[in-house]
Amino acid sequence: MCRMCLVEVGTIQVDPHTRQPLRDVEGRPVVQWMPRLQTACTTRVAEGMVVRTNTLQVQEAQRAILEFLLTSHPLDCPICDKGGECPLQNLTVRYGPAESRFDYADKMRQEKRVPLGDLIILDRERCILCGRCIRFQEEIADDPVLGFSDRGRGMEIITFSDPPFASYFSGNTTDICPVGALTTTDFRFRARPWELTPIPSLCAHCPVGCNITLEVRPSARKGGWDILRVMPRQHEAVNEIWICDKGRFVHHFATAEDRLRQPLVRRDGALAPASWEEALERVAQALRQAGAGAAGIIGDRLPNEDLYLFRRLFEEVLGSPWVTMDPPVFGGEAVARYGVGVGTDFGRMGRGSLIVVMAGDLEEEAPIWFLRVRGGGAAGRPPDRRRGPAPEGRALRRPGPPLPLRDRGPGAPGRPAGPPGAGPDPAGGPGSAGRPGGPAGSRGDVSVGGPRGADRAPAGGDGGPCRSGGGG
């Protein structure tokens, strides 16, 4: 741990006979202080605890720790992606020494570019071993895929999973890293924070509707604006301060070279570019010819308003009842009545709350809901990672066979699986943006529905994300 949060911790002494606090001659409670300073980030709050955060002993310890951290930290500030928003810079200004007492020749040099996965780069020389990324993966994301290796000055962050850093929430580690040791591959060395203009927005790639900030910069090469990175925007009732990797990285599809940018019509058996006027006229002509025999297939990327207009077009204009959704939504009627809606707050749930997931996979289809549900379960009992029916009061981890990275039992490897290689693309796969209709139950009970019932239905879809029409 970096130990910049050292504090004095003590407990109020209690009379063993009366169980009342002992008091000195002036009537103040008697505090028994621990002989050494404690790290505030790892010390659990207890009844009767007293904490001092700004004493002379604490200040001297913070100065000493900061001087120690800077002994081998590189002077990357002019090029570091964290420059301008770096907590270590702020602490150095406040507590840092003007000159270092350590020998520059004894500086610890390590690798500058270590791919932890396809999306995250580790600069081991910048890392101060605070452990934030490890604790986030273990305590928040429930993906214990990072850990410390070695001891002393050779200690470093490694990934245990194969493929490396197999987590849907890996991008959040770059937000909480205090020194720029963890950076994303798409933003690394592309801009400085003060060059970016923050635009508040909402993520539309799944039903959660996470609050995000689009950080943009004018593009001198092609004109307009470039989205250089997507950051979470705090909203405690929706996504707290987290977003999934899909919401963080999938925006690149808008500028992909192979993206369709104009309509294509079939001429002489081959697709050829056409104007929007020509394409829309051919569609209208084909619909008029088909009339009541036309059939419509709705995709899973449309909002409720477009779905409503699409259905009116076929039923009222064309007189056709043939409208279906692909992938289909199962449990939509129940979710529309009892499901997640206005006023639902997973943060208020805990022991005693009932959350029903119907034909869905939250981690795949609504990742931040998965974190909130898991957080609510953790307030009661720890989640059950086994397959099959869960004991009362516990939450299932995910359907399907257990993943290798979940196997952290006595026989689990404690060393990296090998050099980082190609991993899955968490930003790959479409999302969804529909909002279910009904409010949650009065006791905080929630139902969430999706298309996963297709896997168990006679005629199912592809198991993609859930959509509107009641799906959550």
Query: What is the C-alpha to C-alpha distance for residues 418 and 22, in angstroms, rounded to an integer?
Result: 57
Those residues with Cβ within 8 angstroms of residue 44's Cβ, 6 or more apart along the chain or in another chain: none
Residue 154: count of CB within 10 angstroms of its CB? 9
Which whole-number Å values give the CA distances from 206 to 4, 276, 325, in the listed order? 38, 29, 17
Identify residue 377 by its one-letter amino acid code.
G
Q: Give DSSP secondary structure letters for 285-349.
A: HHHHHHGGG--EEE-TT--HHHHHHHHHIIIIII----EEESS--BSHHHHHHHBS-TT--GGG-
Q: Are 351 and 358 in contact (CB under 8 A)?
A: no
Identify residue 317 by its one-letter amino acid code.
V
Q: Please give the pLDDT value at position 377.
A: 57
Extract the tokens encoding 279.
Answer: 């394409």
DSSP 315: I
Q: Please give the pLDDT value at position 281.
A: 93
From the options 2.40.50.140, 2.20.25.90, 1.10.8.640, 2.60.120.10, give the CATH code of 194-255.
2.20.25.90
| Torsions phi, psi for 196 (to 5 deg) | -95, 145
Residue 224: count of CB within 10 angstroms of its CB? 8
Query: What is the C-alpha to C-alpha distance for residues 435 and 444, in angstroms, rounded to an integer?
Result: 18
Is residue 112 classed as helix, strand or coil in its secondary structure?
A: coil
Residue 266: count of CB within 10 angstroms of its CB? 10
Which residues lie across from 149 on neighbouring strands? 156
Extract the tokens encoding 62.
Answer: 């913070």
Q: Please give the pLDDT value at position 380.
A: 47
State the span(s) of the chain assigned CATH 2.20.25.90: 194-255
- Spell out the per-residue pLDDT of the chain, length 472, in tens: 577 889 999 998 888 888 888 888 888 888 889 999 999 988 889 888 999 998 999 988 888 888 888 887 888 888 888 888 898 888 888 877 777 787 777 777 888 899 998 999 999 989 988 889 999 999 898 889 999 988 887 888 999 888 899 899 999 999 999 998 999 999 999 888 899 999 999 998 888 889 999 999 998 777 788 899 999 999 988 889 999 999 999 999 888 888 888 999 998 889 999 999 999 999 999 999 998 999 999 887 787 899 899 999 999 999 998 888 877 777 667 777 777 777 777 878 777 778 888 777 888 889 998 888 887 655 544 444 433 333 333 333 333 333 333 333 333 333 334 333 333 333 333 333 333 333 333 334 554 545 444 443 333 333 333 333 333 3
